[in-house]
Amino acid sequence: MSDRAGTGTTPLAVEHEDRPELRHHFADVVQQRNAASLGMWWFLGTEIMFFGGMFCGYLVYRRAYFPEFAAGSKSLSLIAGTVNTAVLICSSLTVALAVRASQLGKRKLLVNLLLATMFFGVCFLGIKGYEWHDEYVHHHVPTFYFNAHDLVTDNPNLHLDPQRTKIFYSLYFALTGVHALHMIVGLGIFSVITFMAWRGRFSPEYHTPIEIAGLYWHFVDIVWIYLFPLLYLIDRRPGA
C-alpha cells in the first residue's frame, strides 16, 4: 500500500548521506517526494475552494441579473480572452515538457522550457493588463470613475440596471484579479526554480520542485479554462 511510511529497504544513514536533498525526518526520497506531491495536491484542493467562493457569488448573481451579465460579458474582448486561453495552454505544454526534460536530465532543455513557460505567463499578464486598461478607459472599473451607461444605451431593449452591471464588473475584476495574483506568484516560483535548474540542482533522481511547481501552474491554467466561458461567453449569440 503506497500509503505506508517509507520503503524501509535502504539503511537510513546511507540514504541520507547519499542524497543531500533528503531531509532528516524522511526515511527515503520516495517518501519525501510522495509527501511533497500529496501536499501540493491538497493545496490545490484548497485553491479550488478559494476560487469556489467567488464562483458561488458569480452563480447567484448571474442567475439573478442575466441581462446585465450578458451585456457586461459582451463588452469584454473575445479575441483577447481566446488568445489568452491559448497562451496559457501553450504555457501548460511547455511546463509539461519541462517536467519531462527534468525526468530525462536534460538541463539546457529544462531551463529553456521553464523560461518559455514564464514567457507565456508574462504574455498572458500583458494581454490581461491591456484589457484592464481598456476597461478603465471605458469607465468599466468599479471605483475608478465607474459608469456603465454606455451598456445601458447600447442595449435599449434590455432596460439594463447600471448597478447590476457594476456587480458583473466587480466579480470580473475580483476573479481575474485573484487569478492574475496567482499567476504572479507562479512566475515568482518559476523564477526560483529556473535559477535552480540553471545551477544544475535537478536530475532524474531529484526534480520534485519542478513537478510540484508544474502542478500549481496547470491549476492556474484550469481556473482560466473555466473563467473564459463564464466571463467572456455568457451570451455571444449574434443579434442577442
Partner 1 sequence: MATAAVSTERKNYLNAEYGIRSWLLTTDHKRIALLYLLSITFFFFVGGFFALLIRLELLTPAGDLMTADMYNKAFTMHGQIMVFFFLIPSIPAVLGNFLIPMMIGAKDLAFPRINLLSWYIYIAAGALYLYCLATGGVDTGWTFYTPYSSLFSNTHVVEAGLSIFIVGFSSILTGLNFVVTVHRMRAPGMTWSRLPLFVWSHYATSIIMLLGTPVIAITLLLVVLERTLNLGIFDPSRGGDPVLFQHLFWFYSHPAVYIMILPSMAVISEIVPCFSRKRVFGYTFVAASSIAIAAIGFLVWAHHMFVAGISLYSALVFSFLSFLVAVPSAVKVFNWTATMYKGSISFSTPMLYAFGFIGLFTIGGLTGLFLATLGVDVHVHDTYFVIAHFHYVMVGGAVMGYLGGMHFWWPKISGRMYPEGWGRLAAMIVFIGFNLTFFPQFVVGYLGMPRRYWQYPPEFQVYNVLSTAGASILAVGYLLPMVYLLWSLRYGKPAPDNPWQATGLEWKTPSPPPTFNFEETPVVTWEAYEYETMPLPDEVTLER
Partner 2 sequence: MAEHMEHVEHSEHIGSSSFYWLIWAILIVGTVLTALIARVDLGAFNTVVALLIASCKALIVVLFFMHVKYTSEKMTKAVLIAAVFWLLIMLFLSLSDYSTRYAG
Q: Does 136 bind partner 1 (CB under 8 A)?
A: no
Half-sphere exposure for 80 (CA within 13 Å, toward CB): 20
Residues 137-176 that bind partner 2 (CB under 8 A): none
Q: Does 52 bind partner 1 (CB under 8 A)?
A: yes
Q: Does 35 bind partner 2 (CB under 8 A)?
A: no
Interface residue with partner 1 among 17, 18, 38, 149 (CB under 8 A) is 38
Interface residue with partner 2 among 17, 23, 89, 191 (CB under 8 A) is 89
Q: Does 10 bind partner 1 (CB under 8 A)?
A: no
| CA–CA dist 158, 107 (Å, integer) | 58
Interacting residue ranges for partner 2, rule: CB under 8 A: 2-3, 29-30, 34, 37-38, 41-42, 44-46, 48-49, 52-53, 55-56, 59-60, 63-64, 78, 82, 85-86, 89-90, 92-93, 95-97, 100, 103-104, 204-205, 214-215, 218, 221-222, 225-226, 228-230, 233-238, 240
Interacting residue ranges for partner 1, rule: CB under 8 A: 3-6, 8, 12, 23-27, 31, 34-35, 38-39, 42-43, 45-47, 49-54, 56-57, 60-61, 64-65, 142-143, 161, 163-164, 166-167, 170-171, 174, 178
